[in-house]
Amino acid sequence: MDEAPTQSNEYSSSPEGAASTIASKNIVSERNRRKNLNDKLLELRGAVPRISKLDKASTIKDAIDYIQDLQEQERNLQAEIMELESESLKKDPGFDFEEELPILLRSKKSRCDQIYDHRVPMSHPIRVHELRVNSVGENTLFVSLTCSKDGDAMIKICDIFESMKLKIITANVAIVSGMVMKTVLIEADMGERDNLKIKIERAISAVSDHWST
């Protein structure tokens, strides 16, 4: 690939003038490339507030450290925001409407989570029309569930997804012409997402009346 300049190919087959032409073209091209790269590197250094040295290598290293710092700070800030949100939600003794909106994760909440461990109150089962569990990207699972909206099907579906301890990224419920559609994005790396897929399918099939598994 890039090793061992085994032999210098003379390459004098071209007429005399051509070689110098292409050579100079290559020279100016390479010069431009270097210039561009150095400019980019300088711009990168301008974007990083903390700089150890003015080396090229140090510039890159500082940028890496800074990026990792920013990523960690972002995680901390988001965790803090979640903390604040749930905290301001907490004091509401009158109405607990939020139990029907399991949008964000944060399952450290309270009880009434493991209702669906084994049994589901099978008052009347859900009529599942479609269930899709697809892998999206590297560590994301996309779940799309459509069923008829009879009785408390909607609440049941939400409860099912809450009973499993999923790392939910986003969740959405929609009603379209008498159909309940739930769309969930779940964080799951390659190792666990196959298991999760089966787990979700089984959880749904456990509360549906006809779902050939």
Does position 43 interact with DNA (CB under 7 A)? The reply is: no
Using DSSP bridges, classify how beta strands 140-148 and 168-176 pair: parallel, antiparallel or unpaired: unpaired
The mark string for 44-63 relative to a second copy (x by CB under 8 A, - otherwise) is x--xx-------xx--xx-x
- 142 touches 135 (CB < 8 A): yes
**Among residues 39, 55, 96, 150, the one that binds DNA under rule CB under 7 A:** 55
**Shortest Å distance, C-beta 168 to DNA:** 34
b vs e for 19-53, b when ≥16 Cβ sit within 10 Å of the residue's Cβ? Answer: eeeeeeeeeeeeeeeeeeeeeeeeeebeebeeeee
In this chain, which stretch among 18-26, 42-50, 116-124, 193-201 interacts with a second copy, using CB under 8 A? 42-50
Q: Is 209 helix (H, G, I), strand (E, B) or coil?
A: coil
Subset of residues 116 to 135 that bind a second copy, contact rule: CB under 8 A: 130
Q: Is 94 exposed, middle or buried (0-12, 13-18, 19+ CB in 10 A)?
A: exposed
For helices 56-90 and 16-47, the axis angle rounded to 10 degrees is: 40
Task: Return the number of other C-beta atoms located less than 10 Å from residue 154's C-beta.
Answer: 18
* Residue 29 C-beta: closest distance to DNA, Å: 5
Q: State the minimum distance, in angstroms, from the CB of residue 197 to a second copy.
A: 15
Should residue 178 be labelled a site residue for a second copy when binding is judged by CB under 8 A? yes
Separation CA 83–CA 72 (nearest Å): 16
CB-nearer residue toward DNA: 56 or 165: 56
Tokens 């109150």, residue located:
121
Binding site for DNA (CB under 7 A): 1-3, 5-9, 11, 22-27, 29-31, 33-35, 37-38, 54-57
Binding site for a second copy (CB under 8 A): 33, 36-37, 40-41, 43-44, 47-48, 56-57, 60-61, 63-64, 66-68, 70-71, 73-74, 77-78, 80-81, 84-85, 87-89, 91-95, 97, 100-101, 103, 130, 137, 142, 144, 146, 154, 158, 170, 172-179, 181, 183
